[in-house]
Amino acid sequence: MYSMTKRITAYGILFVILVVSMLMGISIGTVQVPVTTILKTIFAAISHTSISDSVDPMYENIVMNVRLPRVMLSGIIGASLAIAGAAFQGLLRNPLADPYTLGVSSGASVGAVLTIFLHLSLPFLGLYTLPVLSVVASFLTIFLVLFFTKRVDRSMRVETIILTGVIFSSFLGALISLMIALTGDELRQIIGWLLGSVSMRGWDYVWIILPFFIVGAGILMLHATELNAMSFGEQQAKHLGVNVERKKMNVLIAGSILTGAAVAVSGTIGFVGLVIPHFIRIIWGPDHKHLLPLSILAGAGFLILADLVSRTIIAPSELPIGVITALIGAPIFAVILIRRRN
């Protein structure tokens, strides 16, 4: 049904969309940067050669220090959420599962909101106290979710995992609401962070999330075959020789690493991990060997374009990127569900 030609076409189309979206994200803004200037600037940076005299230093600064890191960060966040969502949907056999199902995002949000609320600034970290503490809180959350799931159900059935995640998510959400109710001048900053944004982030934030993305995505890619088996049910996977409990734990931890790191640097950005895997699965098939990398390409391109819309639609002001993904993602998801139902 899904021939090799169709697979190659899928990779080609999504790769072209990703490249075009990156060029648009770098080019379009208050100051328009010509595409040729972008290519010359990036090539000079990669090859460590001197940039052409024909390139305005202002353009070089805009590309290398403002827009390229923002586009890179948007792409990595979108890719992280999309591949985590694809893995969770396959593992939990739940089309409504997304990267936030296990409460990891709520844990990361508690870490970030607590940092803002208490005005925390750790030595040697400074401005990066928030993303670092947010990542730590997300890891602590997934550890507690898996610990309690194991105590309640030694076999760690899917239903128990989801229920435990929902409980933790609700409890942590209540903590966030409590801090918002008690806050004063920090309210706008907290709400802005919770709505999701990649504004005013530089290369340092890219370097913060990149290792988590490489490790998390790499683990999920290595478990593509097992995800295919487990998507048919745990008993069938056991009959095929899959160590279900161990592989399930690996996938949950890898997906949580991706989600926690993404939320830590950008705040909560919804619908990417829910809609993109659905879209890829419907058009190009459910095989995780291709579903995961295709989700990376589609998720990255989608969030780059969403960020472009968020900073240009009411320029010079910006909308939170989470608002844009929700406004785009919700109708798309509704259409997908209606078409599948029909």
Does residue 77 come out as left (phi exceeding 0), alpha (psi in the -120 to 50 range) or beta? alpha
Answer with the residue of higher pLDDT: 303 or 253. 303
Distance of CA 295 to the CA centre of its chain: 11
Q: Which pLDDT does position 17 carry in this prediction?
A: 95
Fold observed for domain 4-341: ABC transporter involved in vitamin B12 uptake, BtuC (1.10.3470)
Encode pLDDT of 76-93 as tens digits: 999 999 999 999 988 888
% of the chain exceeding 90 in pLDDT: 28
pLDDT exceeds cutoff 70 at 131: yes
Which residues are CB-contacts of 94 (< 8 A; sequence separation ≥ 6)? 88, 101, 158, 162
Q: Which pLDDT does position 298 carry in this prediction?
A: 95
User: Residue 3 — pLDDT band, cuts 50, 70, 90?
Assistant: low
Q: Which pLDDT does position 333 carry in this prediction?
A: 77
User: How far apart, in whole angstroms, are the C-alpha atoms of residue 202 and residue 305?
Assistant: 18
Check: CB of residue 130 under 8 Å from CB of residue 116: yes
User: How far apart, in whole angstroms, are the C-alpha atoms of residue 145 and residue 106?
Assistant: 12
pLDDT exceeds cutoff 80 at 322: yes
What's the Cα-to-Cα distance from 239 to each of 94, 232, 236, rounded to whole Å? 21, 11, 5
Distance of CA 278 to the CA centre of its chain: 15
pLDDT exceeds cutoff 80 at 52: no
Q: Which pLDDT does position 80 carry in this prediction?
A: 95
User: How far apart, in whole angstroms, are the C-alpha atoms of residue 124 and residue 173?
Assistant: 30
Encode pLDDT of 261-307 as tens digits: 898 888 889 889 888 998 898 888 888 999 999 999 999 999 999 99
Q: Which pLDDT does position 78 carry in this prediction?
A: 95
User: How far apart, in whole angstroms, are the C-alpha atoms of residue 165 and residue 161?
Assistant: 6
User: How far apart, in whole angstroms, are the C-alpha atoms of residue 277 and residue 133?
Assistant: 29
pLDDT exceeds cutoff 70 at 234: yes
The residue length of the chain stands at 342
How many Cβ atoms sit within 10 Å of the Cβ of residue 122? 12
Q: Which pLDDT does position 306 carry in this prediction?
A: 94
Answer with the residue of higher pLDDT: 296 or 55. 296
pTM of the model: 0.90
pLDDT exceeds cutoff 60 at 226: yes
pLDDT exceeds cutoff 60 at 312: yes
User: How far apart, in whole angstroms, are the C-alpha atoms of residue 74 and residue 94?
Assistant: 26
Q: Which pLDDT does position 133 carry in this prediction?
A: 86
Average pLDDT of every residue of the chain: 86
What is the H or E stretch that residue 203 is in?
A: helix 203-222
Q: Which pLDDT does position 10 carry in this prediction?
A: 86
Encode pLDDT of 196-213 as tens digits: 888 888 898 999 899 999
What's the Cα-to-Cα distance from 307 to each of 54, 193, 223, 325, rounded to whole Å? 29, 15, 31, 9
User: Residue 2 — pLDDT band, cuts 50, 70, 90?
Assistant: low
